[in-house]
Amino acid sequence: MPREKIIAGLDVGSSKVACVIAKKYELDLPEVIGIGVTPCKGLKHGSVVNMKETEHAITAAVNQAEENAEGKIYDDELIVSIKGQHIESYNHSTAINVTRTDKEITPDDVAHVIGSAKQIRLGFDKEIIHIIPQDFIVDGQRGITDPVGLEGSHLSVDAHIVTGLSSAINNLGKCVSSAGFECKNFISSILATAEVTVSEQEKKIGCVLIDMGDQTTDIAVYLDGSSRCIKELPLGGKNITMDIARGLSTSYQVAQDLKEQYGSAITSLIDVKEEISYLSVDGRTQKRTTRKTLCDIIKPRVEEILSFVDDEIIKTQYKDMISAGAIITGGGCQLLGLKEACEEVLQMPSRLGIPQYVKGSINGMADPALACGMGLIKYSYLPEFEKSGRCKTKKPGILTKVRRMFEEMI
């Protein structure tokens, strides 16, 4: 039997916190054994705006996942997603000379050249979250994925560097610590999501991952097997729901239910004459409308969001190289007709990104809204995982742990 250990991923999204607990095997796919999800009002566009609310949501999500898994997480450690408009990415090249007489490149040389990429000049209060090698170059020869053992005098690396605002990262780390846990690593949410929604072949020939959440839409462009650019837009499913609420004069919750049950981004997929009834904003008056009217409200906002996505893809200058097309995931991707709308606006083939590359029989594993949590587990298999991000957050003190135990008892 292959050895296993228990690991946990914490997806801190725009409006919810999700925890995924899994068994990690040395020679096999991770097995998801517990999932916990709780709404969170302490977050806005992925950043912490209320620490107490976020702390309580983290505790609730982890407790639910632990109950689902029938066991505690290992050593109170969490792999935590990080997102927000403060996240930025750059493509950067750096090089070193191999001065030893034998000229054989060692792991220390590789670590040295990757480490030298950290010398990039950052803006105020910025720090590096990821340094992801895209390509190694030995004495001018490109296309090398692992230079260890090769001989050469000059070693270069093209790397994708992801940075974030130190204060935003610290605030999230404090919430994790106050909830009684230790952050093992911070991982970009869109890069984590890609690990369970995008195939290696799609990354190789070029694709774009679009993660439509409640308040944000994240984008990641892949080419030649590596990420090239990530971006976050401050628009998501909540904007569509608010348009429905305003357009039909109803409550946000009724608008959300209408969107999920009858909504569509494409008129051709619905019966335009079908009538639907709903409660007005006063909670008592019955009103009626048609599915076409609902679609007419939804479609312009979807097209606007996708147009902004297209603009960002064009800015990367990789659009003509995206041969595999778009993969749409996140809670927003479940809107009827979104795939077709994406193909129409982006002018490229599109598909839905359902979580895969993990195993298990827990309810919710096929939910695109939980892709990031499962992706955090899968990301821990990558060679750069231990080198990604900053040092661990401060371990929670004994009083924090006792408080958590007391809260669980009551």
- pLDDT 10s digits, 10-20: 999 888 999 99
Best CA proximity match to 381, nearest among 13, 18, 31, 116? 31
Sheet with 217-223, strands from edge to edge, namely 226-233, 217-223, 207-212, 326-329, 350-352
Neighbours of 338 (CB within 10 A): 24
Task: Specify the pTM.
Answer: 0.91
Mean pLDDT of the chain: 91
Q: Please give the average per-residue pLDDT across 140-155, as a whole number.
A: 93
Q: What is the pLDDT of residues 219-269, one digit of tens each?
A: 999 999 999 999 999 999 999 999 999 999 999 999 999 999 999 999 999
Structure tokens at 236: 């998501």
Determine the average pLDDT of the residues in 104-116.
92
Model confidence at 396, pLDDT cuts 50, 70, 90, reads low
- Complete domains list, the chain, with CATH: 88-164 (3.30.1490.110), 199-352 (3.30.420.40)
Does 70 have pLDDT greater than 50? yes
pLDDT tens per residue, range 289-304: 999 999 999 999 999 9
- Per-residue buried b or exposed e for 78-117, using 16+ beta carbons within 10 Å of the residue's own CB: bbbbbbbebbbbeebebebebeeeeeebeeebbeebbebb
Token representation of residue 170 = 């610290």
CB proximity list for 404: less than 8 A, separation 6 or greater: 59, 179, 180, 396
Other beta carbons within 10 angstroms of residue 409's beta carbon come to: 6
What secondary structure does DSSP assign to 378-394, as a single string? HHTTSTTTTTSSSPPPP
**Is the confidence at residue 408, as pLDDT, over 70?**
no
